[in-house]
């Protein structure tokens, strides 16, 4: 019962922390897998890995007559740009009536390649149908500029000449070029990828640290509870003169096996549950490190408790 109780509590804690930091971890993974140095807003295209961001509002919805729109960061491909793998979530070249959506939008709205999204074309006022041609890696936003705005993901539109000719826009550039080489296109709001990574780490670190400490305390509580079940018999056998080596082995085996079973049960169940919920892969590594730390703490406490009994 103790193993089951502590395992269930641990699984619930793992699930809650996974859901809490999933979006940030997904975006962190996207930044780590990218190789550009910084992004910036410019007046003109650089010819590689840049997008158009319009001042006029562009919105997408699940149905043509829907009154609600998706909470997405929307950009448009440039007809003059090439798109490389230096930006992890880059889409292949899209047609005018095609869009690419990030994985989170796909999952939350049950949309896949070949499905449709709808948007009111602000140039002619007609409801435009767009086909989803690509599902991109999970990414929360095109840029984390510290504004505090949170999106479900991104939507990339194919180049639309009517938008480009009739509405003002800025170019969002992702590059490794030295900033001095961009003077001609007036770079501004420069945002370095490393700064975005540090910002995300600062955001998720408090959650992970608190969760880590609570998990360690939970392990301590499990070991103390298991020890309490046998300490009277253990002390009685010590006073009766049973061999120290055999008693130490029996005590360590009972506490260790029970505790390790709880840790492994919690770890395996949490990983399966994460898989079902499609949570981010970075948390797999965190749970693995946490499980190792829990096992080490259990071994240390077993050693300490054993010495206390003999004293």
DSSP 157-207: EPP-HHHHHHS-EEEEEEE-S-GGGGGGG--EEEEEHHHHHHHHHHHHHHH
Q: Is 105 exposed, middle or buried (0-12, 13-18, 19+ CB in 10 A)?
A: buried
Encoded tokens for 235 = 């002390």
Q: 259-284: per-residue pLDDT in tens?
A: 888 888 888 887 887 777 656 667 77
Q: Please tell me the total number of residues recorded for the chain in this structure.
A: 311
Q: Residue 184: name the closest of 171, 169, 202 by CA.
A: 171
Total-model pTM? 0.79
Q: Which band of pLDDT confidence, cut at 50, 70 and 90, is reported for residue 98?
A: very high
Outline where the chain has alpha helix (H): 2-33, 103-108, 161-166, 193-239, 244-277, 282-310
The pLDDT of residue 125 is 79
Residues forming beta bridges with residue 72, ordered by sequence position = 153
Residues forming beta bridges with residue 298, ordered by sequence position = none
The pLDDT of residue 148 is 52
Dist CA 67 CA 64 (whole Å): 9
Q: Phi/psi zone of residue 135: left (φ > 0), alpha (ψ -120 to 50 degrees), beta? A: beta
What is the share, in percent, of the chain residues with pLDDT greater than 70? Answer: 96
Q: Which residue has the tokens 């709880």?
A: 262
Outline where 56-192 has alpha helix (H): 103-108, 161-166
Q: 117-167: per-residue pLDDT in tens?
A: 999 887 777 889 999 999 998 888 888 866 555 678 899 999 988 888 888
Average pLDDT rounded to a whole number, residues 170-177: 92
The pLDDT of residue 65 is 85
């Amino acid at each position: 019962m103790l193993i089951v109780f502590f395992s269930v509590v641990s699984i619930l804690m793992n699930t809650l922390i996974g859901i809490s930091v999933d979006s940030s971890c997904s975006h962190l993974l996207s930044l780590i897998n990218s190789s550009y140095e910084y992004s910036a807003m410019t007046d003109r295209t650089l010819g590689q890995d840049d997008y158009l961001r319009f001042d006029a509002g562009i919105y997408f919805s699940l149905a043509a007559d829907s009154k609600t729109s998706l909470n997405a960061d929307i950009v448009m491909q440039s007809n003059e740009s090439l798109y490389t793998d230096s930006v992890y979530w880059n889409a292949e070249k899209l047609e005018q009536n095609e869009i690419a959506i990030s994985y989170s939008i796909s999952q939350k709205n049950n949309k896949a390649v070949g499905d449709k999204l709808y948007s009111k074309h602000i140039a002619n006022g007609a409801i435009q149908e767009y086909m989803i041609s690509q599902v991109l890696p999970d990414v929360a936003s095109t840029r984390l500029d510290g504004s505090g705005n949170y999106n479900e993901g991104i939507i990339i539109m194919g180049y639309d000449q009517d938008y480009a000719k009739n509405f003002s826009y800025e170019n969002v550039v992702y590059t490794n070029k030295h900033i001095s080489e961009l003077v001609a296109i007036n770079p501004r709001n420069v945002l370095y990828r490393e700064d975005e990574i540090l910002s995300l780490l600062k955001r998720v670190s408090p959650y992970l640290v608190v969760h880590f400490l609570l998990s360690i305390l939970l392990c301590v509580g499990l070991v103390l509870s298991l020890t309490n079940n046998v300490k009277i018999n253990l002390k009685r056998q010590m006073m009766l003169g049973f061999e120290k080596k055999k008693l130490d082995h029996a005590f360590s085996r009972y506490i260790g096996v029970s505790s390790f079973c709880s840790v492994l049960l919690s770890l395996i169940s949490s990983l399966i549950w994460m898989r079902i919920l499609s949570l981010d892969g970075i948390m797999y590594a965190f749970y693995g490190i946490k499980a190792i730390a829990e096992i080490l703490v259990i071994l240390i406490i077993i050693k300490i408790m054993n010495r206390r009994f003999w004293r």
